Amino acid sequence: MHARLNTETCDMWKKLSMYFRGGLFVVVLLSPIYASAQEIKPQSNSDDSNVRPAVTKVDLQIVKRAREILNSESKWNRADNRICPAEAKTVSLYCALQMATVEVGGKAEHRGAALQEARFVIDEIARDRNYEHRLMNYNNDRTTTFSDIQEVLRITESLITLRLKTNGNSQ
């Protein structure tokens, strides 16, 4: 009887340990999403470079439009100065996002969700570079290729899509 009780107790602890690890995995997986939801701030004229506005379907459309604007290397301006004339023949990463923001959203939003998400992607993929102006400096970095620029936009689009699904945002 005593041996049976020890076996049952051991099995119970194994099951609890398995459930705990599975739950811990889910918590670790979802904690960045939960944390970002807790940090959502209304879009404003704030110049906080780390503000994380809530994403909407409009932000997804903005990134898709930026990918269309910057769809070939011949259209890429790798000498960005963050001045984006409408008649420009070439555009930088920043200008493609800014132009798309105006086209899709109706007005420029320097700290809008689409641009901010692209900045955060650059933070992750160029972690050791500490750019003052992430979009401009990454665009102008001599080691950045056109493929890198496209990858930033692709990842940004994927992350916004994921955040929309996770947050159930249908705006």
Closest CA to 63 of 111, 97, 40: 97
DSSP single-letter state for residue 168: T
Q: What is the pLDDT along the chain (171 residues), one digit of tens a residue?
A: 555 556 665 565 566 566 556 554 444 444 455 444 444 444 444 677 777 889 999 999 999 999 999 999 999 999 999 999 999 999 999 999 999 999 998 888 877 899 999 999 999 999 988 899 999 999 999 999 999 999 999 999 999 999 999 887 555
What would the DSSP string read from start to end of 86-144? TT-SSB-HHHHHHHHIIIIISS--TT-HHHHHHHHHHHHHTTTT--SSHHHHHHH-TT-
pTM across the whole model:
0.70
Angle (nearest 5°) at CA 59 between 53 and 64:
145
State the Cα–Cα distance between residues 145 and 73, nearest whole angstrom: 9
Reduced to 3 states (helix: H, G, I; strand: E, B; else coil), residue 78 is coil
State the Cα–Cα distance between residues 148 and 144, nearest whole angstrom: 6
Closest CA to 95 of 79, 80, 75: 80
Domain boundaries, the chain: 1-39, 57-167
Angle (nearest 5°) at CA 105 between 158 and 57:
35
